[in-house]
Amino acid sequence: MSYRYDEQHTPPEPTRVTDVAITTFEDLYEVDPRLMQEWVTQQEFPNWDSLRIMNSRHDHLEWMHEHFAHKVIHGSELLPADPDPNPSGEVSL
């Protein structure tokens, strides 16, 4: 609830989730910071800001659904029933 400098600048110990992503807070995923050291460097992010953005995104998506969606379905329901026979992604002409 309150702001303390030390707390805000100490994120939880990260856990790796893929080759390029880590997670810190529950449901909060971040790019591996080693991938952002050259062209665009990361900004200073106190914990409250990361959590504010994540929570705002959830609120916004819920708001969008309430205002514009007739119904909400899982993305997998849109995929074809038969798996792709060419998983390499090559396109035959």
Q: Are 21 and 31 in contact, with CB atoms under 8 Å apart?
A: yes
CB atoms within 10 A of CB 9: 11
Residue 19 C-beta: closest distance to other proteins, Å: 15
Residue 75 C-beta: closest distance to other proteins, Å: 16
Site string for other proteins, 48-87 (x = CB under 8 A): xxxxxxxxxx-xx--x------------------------
Distance between CA 54 and CA 89 in Å, rounded? 32
- C-alpha dihedral over 10, 30, 78, 80, to 10 degrees? -130
Cα 57–Cα 47–Cα 32 angle in degrees, nearest 5: 80
Site string for other proteins, 3-42 (x = CB under 8 A): xxxx-xx-----------x------xxxx-x--x---xxx
How many residues of this chain bind other proteins (CB under 8 A)? 34
| Chain residues in the site for other proteins (CB under 8 A) | 1-6, 8-9, 21, 28-31, 33, 36, 40-43, 45-46, 48-57, 59-60, 63
